[in-house]
Amino acid sequence: MSLKLDFKMIKTKFFAIYSFLKVKRITSMVEKITTHQSEEDFRNKDILIYVNGEIVPRDKATISVYDSGFMLGDGIWEGLRLYNGRWIFLEEHLDRLFEAALAIDLNIGLDRNEVRGALEDTRLANDMHTDAHARLMITRGTKVKPFQHPSLSLSGPTIVIIMEHSKVLSVRPIRLSTVPHMRGLPMTQDPKLNSHSKLNCVLACIAAEKAGADEALMLDINGFVNTTNACNFFIVRNGTVWTSTGDYCMNGITRQKVIDVCQANNIPVKEKNFSLVETYGASEAFVTGTFGAQTPVREIDGRIIGDKDLGPITEKIRFLYKELIECENLK
Instruction: State pLDDT tens for residues 51-88.
Output: 999 999 999 999 999 999 999 999 999 999 999 999 99
Q: List, as one string, the DSSP characters of 184-239.
A: --HHHH-TTS-BS--HHHHHHHHHHHHTT-SEEEEE-TTS-EEEESSSEEEEEETT
**Domain at 121, CATH number:** 3.30.470.10
pLDDT for residue 271 is more than 80: yes
Mapped onto helix, strand or coil, the DSSP state of residue 176 is strand
Among candidate residues 240, 249, 260, the one with its CA nearest the CA of residue 219 = 249
Return the DSSP state at 311.
Answer: -
Q: Domain ends where: 110, 140, 165?
A: 165
- pLDDT value at 3 more than 60: no
For residue 1, being part of any structural domain is answered with no
pLDDT tens string 11-32: 445 444 444 444 344 334 447 8
What is the percent of the chain where pLDDT is above 90?
Answer: 80
What is the distance between the alpha carbons of residues 255 and 253, in angstroms, rounded to a whole number?
5
Q: Measure the CA dihedral 306/232/318/242, to 10°.
A: 60
Quick one: 121 and 222 in the same domain? no
Sign of CA dihedral 63, 67, 68, 71: positive
pLDDT at 195 over 90: yes
Residue span of the structural domain in which 117 resides: 42-165
Is residue 182 within 8 Å of residue 221, measured between CB atoms? yes
The band of 306, judged by pLDDT with boundaries at 50, 70 and 90, is very high
- Looking at the fold, whether 291 and 179 belong to one and the same domain comes out as yes
What pLDDT shows up at residue 105?
A: 96
Q: Residue 117 pLDDT more than 90?
A: yes
Question: Residue 189's pLDDT band (boundaries 50, 70, 90)?
Answer: confident
**Do 317 and 298 sit in the same domain of this protein?**
yes
Share of the chain above pLDDT 70, in %: 91
Q: Which of 144, 165, 186 is at the close of a domain?
A: 165
- Go through the chain and tell me how many residues it has: 331
Instruction: Note whether 219 and 324 are same-domain residues.
Output: yes
The pLDDT tens digits for 211-247 are 999 999 999 999 999 999 999 999 999 999 999 999 9
pLDDT tens string 124-168 = 999 999 999 999 999 999 999 999 999 999 999 999 999 999 988
Contacts 24+ apart (CB under 8 A), 203-208: 204/179, 204/229, 205/229, 205/230, 207/177, 207/179, 207/180, 207/181, 208/176, 208/177, 208/179
CATH number at residue 243: 3.20.10.10
Q: Is residue 27 part of a domain?
A: no
In a domain, 313, yes or no: yes
- The confidence band for 9, taking pLDDT boundaries of 50, 70 and 90, is low
Sign of CA dihedral 244, 240, 175, 165: negative
Would you state the pLDDT for residue 6?
A: 55
DSSP code of 153?
B
Answer yes or no: is 286 within a domain.
Answer: yes
Q: Is residue 26 part of a domain?
A: no
pLDDT of residue 10: 52
Do the beta carbons of residue 73 and residue 63 sit within 8 Å?
Answer: no
| Number of structural domains found in the chain | 2
Mean pLDDT estimate for the chain: 90
| Residues 200 and 207 sit within 8 Å (Cβ to Cβ) | no
Whether residues 178 and 326 fall in one domain = yes
Predicted TM-score of the model (pTM): 0.87
Q: What angle do CA 302, 304, 305 make, to 5 degrees?
A: 130
213 found inside a domain = yes
Q: Is residue 271 within 8 Å of 262, Cβ to Cβ?
A: no
pLDDT at 8 over 60: no
- Are both 326 and 221 inside the same structural domain? yes
Determine the pLDDT at residue 68. Answer: 97
Between these two residues, 170 and 65, which has the higher pLDDT value?
A: 65
- Rounded (5°) CA angle 321-327-328: 90
Which residue, of 113, 145, 165, is where some domain finishes? 165
Task: Based on the fold, state whether residues 185 and 157 are members of the same structural domain.
Answer: no
The region, left, alpha or beta by phi > 0 then psi within -120 to 50, assigned to residue 109 is left
- Residue 302 and residue 228 share a domain: yes
Say yes or no: 185 and 321 in one domain: yes
Do residue 187 and residue 316 come from a single domain?
yes
Query: Does 131 share its domain with 191?
Result: no
Q: Cα dist. 286→249, 310, 312 in Å?
A: 15, 9, 12
User: How far is 245 from 281, CA to CA, in rounded Å?
Assistant: 19
Give me the mean pLDDT over the 34-47 stretch: 89
Domain co-membership, 85 together with 199: no
